[in-house]
Structures are given as C-alpha cells and as structure tokens.
C-alpha cells in the first residue's frame, strides 16, 4: 500500500504544519460548530483533502471519540466514517473534482441539497479544485451557497485561490494553508520510518537525507512521502544515490555555481548538459528564495516569481539564465548589488543551520495514530 494513503492523517492532531488551523478545527469539533461553507486554499499535497475528510467524518460520525481535551475525533469504524475512509461516497457525502464535473453531477448535487439527508444528519458537498467549476456548475453552486439549508455543508478546496470566483470566496470561510516547513516534513518522514519499523535498519546517513527529501518536496507532504517510499523500495540511502535518482542538485554545488556566476565566471557551464542546466535553474531559484526569505525575512514578491518563471520558459541556455539573474537583481529593491548578494549566500551557507537528526527519538513529533 502506498505510504501516503496508509498514513493519511485521521485526526486534526496528526496534521503537520497548519498549527493554528488545526487548533481552530479541534475547538470547533467540540460542538461540531463548523462553518457551512469552508474553502481550503493551498498548494498540492499540503493536506486540503485530508482536512476536508476529517471534517466530513466528524459531521456524521455515529460514535465520535472524545480526547482528554474534549475534542472530538471520528471513530473510523461507523458506516459514515467508513464511507469516507474508503472514499466510496455512497451516503450523504458528495465528493467531486470540479475539473471532471458533468451535468449529471450538478443534478445530483442539487438533488442532494434539496432533500433531507437519508443516512445521516448532514449532507456534505465536497468540491476539489473548485477553481475549475464550469459556468453551469458555478451558477448552481452559488445559488446553493447563498443561503445553505440547515444540515448542508460545503467544503471547497483549491490550489489556485486567485482563480476562484469572487462571489464564492465572499460566501466561504477561507482557510489559507501555508507551505509546510521542511523541518516538519523531515520529522514526519522520520516518524513514518519508525512506524514502518525500519528506522533502526536504515543507515544513519539516510536519516540526514530525510532533510534533503523534505527540502526538495518544497512543502508538498505527499511528494515527500512518495520520495520516502521510493527510497525504501529502491534502497536509495546515500545522499548521492538520492541526488542521482531524483535528479536533485546538491545545494552545495548549486551555491558554488551561483557564486561563480555572480563573479561572472561562467566556465563551469561548459561541463553541464542540458538537464543539469535546467536542474540548476530550479535549484538556484530555490536557493535564492531560501536566502531571501530567511535572511531578509519577508514574503517573496510575486513580481520576482513572474520574472523568473518567464526566464524559465525559454530553452535552457546561459544567456537566458544570466538574464533571469539580471532581472532578479533589477526588481530586488533590498539587495543593492551582486557583491552584497553573494555575501548573503556565503554568510548564510557557512552557518551550519540544518539540524541533524539523531536516531535516539529526540525529535519532537506529533503523535501518530497507532
Ligand atoms: N499536513 C499534512 N500532514 C500530514 N500528512 C500530510 C499533510 N498534507 C499531506 N499529507 C500527506 O499527503 C497525502 C495527500 O494529502 P492531501 O490532503 O490529499 O493533499 P491536498 O488535498 O492538499 O493535495 C496525505 O494522504 C498524507 O499522506
Ligand atoms: Mg486534494
Ligand atoms: Zn464514525
């Protein structure tokens, strides 16, 4: 079984990252006081569907468990919980990815909300990729959202909040989900190794590589867990094997190359093939963002991203890359010149700031269901 499915969180406490949000949802669970229209917005693999599933289960669970704090957790064994757990959706939960929503689905959706729930207390409409709602579906949905009937809940999820219809946004309780940090992801991967009972049998160096997997999954927890699964089956345990296998570029190599580039030494490019050049683009961009975020501690301006992405659309070539960097320097108001900039790099990377994971259970991780 896929690890990402096997270890899909079943309670809010098992969700990593999003601590404010899960605290709120836990509090709400006490009285089952969830907003009737919820919109989860965040990048792929950050836990949107999982949160939606837990909320849906709670709303109809026949026998919720009460934690010491008084929070409710879905029992996972009653017919309503099972229906969602097994993703059958044959009861009162209508689940649809909007990019594949047809006329029939709209009719079914309208039927469901206009009749009393048959099996359980609440009817739940769970719409994924809500920015893809067709005009027809949008019209129908908006009408339903305007004054949701009692016992009717809408859970919407999107990876592109900016494309979500404004009227929908204004009717929903919006939950913006940030990228999960690489530290949290690495801790989860370690926990999964333990849960699989192989934390002792993998080489120590692999534990350190969990940070590499976490960094490169860039906030996408599903991606990180998938990388981990491949490492386990493929026995990719050394840093080099992982770099080779997943086409990651070593951060040190990237920094060294960037440093040369900033000093206008481009000789190393001769030895790079096209794939490596492309990887270098991405790796260096990620490095830039990291440095920018951590040293200057601000959100990345969209302006930056757009310029950079425009640069990447071209065939990988040196001119394009230099162009990208020039663009970045031009739009950056805080980094005055390349000298300051490269100094930031060196300062930043000479500080050993990446915590090393020990095998001896010292890492703080959230409890995971047994
Ligand atoms: N915040 C999280 N905490 C723990 N596991 C997560 C989290 N987000 C995603 N996952 C893992 O990734 C898988 C997919 O998550 P999902 O909720 O479907 O993401 P999304 O809907 O945002 O794309 C889950 O089954 C779980 O293994
Ligand atoms: Mg999803
Ligand atoms: Zn239940």
Q: Would you state the pLDDT for residue 53?
A: 97
- Give, to the nearest 10 degrees, the angle between helix 318-331 and helix 302-313: 170
Domain of residue 18, CATH code? 3.40.50.300
Q: Would you state the pLDDT for residue 64?
A: 98
Structure tokens at 311: 């640069």
On whether both 98 and 38 belong to a single domain, the answer is yes
Give the residue among 215, 241, 194 at the shortest CA–CA distance from 359: 194
Best mean pLDDT range from 47-51, 183-187, 238-242, 279-283: 47-51
Question: Mean pLDDT of all residues in the chain?
Answer: 78
Residues by chain with Cβ below 5 Å of ion ligand 2: 48-49
- Structural domain includes residue 219: yes
On whether both 293 and 334 belong to a single domain, the answer is yes
On whether both 47 and 170 belong to a single domain, the answer is yes
Q: 201: burial class by Cβ within 10 Å (0-12, 13-18, 19+)? A: exposed
Residue with CA nearest ligand 1 atom 18: 49
On whether both 63 and 87 belong to a single domain, the answer is yes
On whether both 67 and 129 belong to a single domain, the answer is yes
On whether both 195 and 313 belong to a single domain, the answer is no
Q: Would you state the pLDDT for residue 103?
A: 86
- Structural domain includes residue 357: no
Q: Please report the DSSP string for 126-190 in residue order.
A: EEESGGG--HHHHHHHHHHHHSPPTTEEEEEEES-GGGS-HHHHHHSEEEE-PPPPHHHHHHHHH
On whether both 158 and 14 belong to a single domain, the answer is yes
Q: How many domains does the chain have?
A: 3
On whether both 237 and 257 belong to a single domain, the answer is no
- Structural domain includes residue 361: no
On whether both 225 and 293 belong to a single domain, the answer is no
Provide mean pLDDT across the span 68-85: 97
Which residues contact residue 123 at a Cβ distance below 8 angstroms, ignoring those fewer than 6 apart? 92, 93, 94, 112, 113, 117, 151, 152, 153
The answer to whether residue 356 scores a pLDDT higher than 80 is no
Provide mean pLDDT across the span 34-56: 96
Q: Would you state the pLDDT for residue 254?
A: 63
Residue with CA nearest ligand 1 atom 27: 4
Question: Of the ligands numbered here, which is closest to the C-alpha atom of 222?
Answer: 1
Percent of the chain with pLDDT over 70: 67
On whether both 61 and 203 belong to a single domain, the answer is no
Which residues contact residue 321 at a Cβ distance below 8 angstroms, ignoring those fewer than 6 apart? 261, 277, 280, 281, 311
pTM given for the model: 0.76
Ligand 1 neighbourhood includes 7 CB (under 6 angstroms): yes
What distance in Å separates the CA atoms of residue 147 and residue 125, rounded to the nearest whole number?
A: 14
Q: What is the pLDDT of residues 104-146, one digit of tens each?
A: 998 888 888 888 888 889 999 999 999 998 887 888 888 888 8
Pocket test for ligand 1, best of 1, 5, 8, 95 (most atoms within 8 A of CB): 8
If you count them, how many residues does the chain have? 370
Give the sheet arrangement for strand 93-97, strand by strand.
93-97, 123-128, 152-158, 37-41, 173-176
- Structural domain includes residue 212: yes
The answer to whether residue 269 scores a pLDDT higher than 80 is no
Place 287 in a pLDDT band, splitting at 50, 70 and 90: low
Domain span at 162: 3-176
On whether both 9 and 56 belong to a single domain, the answer is yes
Structure tokens at 35: 């907003």
Contact 180, 221 (CB under 8 A): yes
Domain final residue, candidates 176, 205, 232:
176
Place 36 in a pLDDT band, splitting at 50, 70 and 90: very high
- Structural domain includes residue 360: no
Contact 178, 47 (CB under 8 A): no
Question: Of the ligands numbered here, which is closest to the C-alpha atom of 47?
Answer: 1
Cα 226 to ligand 1 centroid, rounded to whole Å: 11
On whether both 238 and 345 belong to a single domain, the answer is no
Q: Would you state the pLDDT for residue 142?
A: 83
């Amino acid at each position: 079984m896929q690890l990402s499915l096997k270890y899909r969180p079943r309670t809010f406490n098992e969700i990593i990252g999003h601590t404010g949000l899960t605290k709120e949802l836990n509090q709400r669970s006490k009285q089952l006081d969830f907003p009737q229209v919820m919109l989860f917005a965040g990048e792929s693999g950050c836990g949107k569907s999982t949160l939606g599933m837990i909320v849906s289960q709670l709303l109809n669970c026949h026998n919720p468990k009460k934690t010491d704090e008084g929070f409710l957790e879905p029992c996972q064994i009653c017919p309503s919980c099972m229906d969602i757990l097994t993703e059958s959706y044959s009861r009162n939960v209508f689940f649809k990815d909007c990019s594949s929503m047809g006329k029939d689905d709209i009719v079914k959706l309208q039927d469901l909300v206009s009749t009393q729930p048959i099996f359980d207390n609440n009817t739940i409409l769970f719409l994924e990729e809500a920015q893809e709602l067709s005009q027809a579906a949008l019209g129908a949905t908006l009408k339903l959202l305007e004054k949701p009937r009692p016992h009717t809940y809408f859970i919407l999820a999107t990876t592109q909040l900016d494309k979500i219809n404004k009227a929908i946004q204004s009717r929903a309780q919006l939950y913006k989900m940030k990228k999960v940090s690489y530290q949290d992801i690495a801790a989860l991967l370690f926990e999964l190794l333990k849960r699989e009972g192989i934390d002792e049998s993998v080489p120590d160096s692999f534990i350190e590589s969990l940070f590499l997997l976490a960094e490169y999954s860039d906030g996408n927890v599903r991606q990180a867990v998938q990388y981990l699964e491949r490492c386990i089956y493929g026995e990719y345990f050394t840093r080099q094997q992982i770099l080779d296998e997943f086409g990651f570029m070593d951060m040190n190599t990237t920094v060294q190359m960037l440093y040369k580039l900033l000093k206008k030494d481009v000789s190393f490019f001769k030895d790079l093939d096209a794939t490596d050049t492309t990887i270098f683009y991405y790796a260096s961009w990620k490095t830039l963002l990291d440095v920018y975020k951590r040293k200057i501690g601000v959100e990345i301006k969209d302006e930056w991203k757009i310029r950079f992405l425009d640069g990447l659309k071209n065939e990988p070539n040196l001119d394009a890359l230099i162009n990208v960097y020039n663009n970045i320097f031009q739009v950056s108001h805080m980094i005055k010149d390349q000298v300051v900039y490269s100094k930031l790099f060196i300062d930043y990377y000479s500080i050993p700031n990446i915590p090393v994971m020990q095998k001896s259970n010292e890492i703080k991780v959230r409890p995971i269901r047994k």
